[in-house]
Amino acid sequence: MSELRQRYGSTSEHVVQVDGLNIHYKDTGPKDAPVLLLLHGFGSSLQTWDVWAGKLEQDYRVIRPDLPGFGLTGPSPTHDYSEQNDVAALTRFVDKLGLSSFSVVGHSMGGKMAWSLAAAEPDRVKALVLMAPDGFPETKDIGTKPYAMPAIMGVIKFSLPKFLVRKSIESAFFDANALTDTLVDRYYDMLRAPGVRDAILDRANQTIYTDPVPRLKKITAPTLLIWGDQDQLIPSSNAQSYANVLAVSQTVLLPKLGHLIQEEQPELGLTPVTEFLNATLKRTSKASTVD
């Protein structure tokens, strides 16, 4: 872990303890600017947002944690990765940082956490960006485990060949040529952080699809749904399912992109996200001023 901190840490890296879990996060941008909370996906880490954060922090305070079980945060001491515990941990995290209001950008698993947090804290979440979010199953899949792994995958606790990591990431890209050795090395390193592989297996065993509709209807924040139209992991057709339920939403489909938009072609995804955030948060700020 100390080696990883040396390799991937920075002066913007902080740690806050939440129920015995040391959540590592980066906090950049003007401290008095609107807050953006960036949540990464399954098997990833806060570095997935490096390019986006570098741009967004010019106008926003950007906070991006390593979520429980991943990156430098590592495993939960309770080994509880349920939906309820994820939302509770995030709520206590923003509470400890003293954030009365914020917007959330979430990808995949982090997208599910983002909309779950927005449903639980509708008065605090001002804007929501869901990038290929998980958590909207077909009716027949409610009660199933979306991250279920065959028993043989338990071997990753003891051995994790780099080629296996590369193959798993390739499926998240439309253009495999965009998957650089540097990117593979980072995923490989973070997956070898102490306790992370055990945590991934625990989360896979504990995550069960539930009906999202009642919670999604509680969300009041304007929402941007963004997908790569060639996403092989969570199909872009899911966008319509969310749009049918959310109170205020718009959808952007990006051609010839896969699941990891922010790493395959970061600028293409960042443009509509920035436009949405600027328009939504400036409008909210003006409304607050009038009130």
Residue appearing with tokens 């593979």:
184
Predicted local confidence at residue 151, as pLDDT: 59
Whole-model pTM: value is 0.93
Amino acid 137 reads P
For position 24, what pLDDT does the model report? 95
pLDDT at 283: 55
* Distance from C-alpha of 174 to C-alpha of 167, rounded to nearest angstrom: 13
- Cite the beta strand spans of the chain per DSSP E: 13-18, 21-28, 35-39, 61-65, 102-107, 125-131, 223-228, 249-254
Tokens of 44: 């990833």
Tens-level pLDDT at each residue, the chain (291 residues): 888 888 887 777 899 999 899 999 999 999 999 999 999 999 999 999 999 999 999 999 999 999 999 999 999 999 999 999 999 999 999 999 999 999 999 999 999 999 999 999 999 999 999 999 999 998 898 988 877 765 556 677 777 889 989 998 999 999 999 999 999 999 999 999 999 999 999 998 899 999 999 999 999 999 999 999 999 999 999 999 999 999 999 999 999 999 999 999 999 999 999 999 999 998 554 444 334
Domains, the chain: 2-290 (3.40.50.1820)
DSSP conformational letter for 102? E
For 17-46, the DSSP string reads EETTEEEEEEEES-TTSPEEEEE--TT--G
Backbone angles phi, psi at 71, to 5 degrees: 55, -145
What are the start-end ranges of the H helices in 134-180?
162-170
Q: SS3 for 265?
A: coil
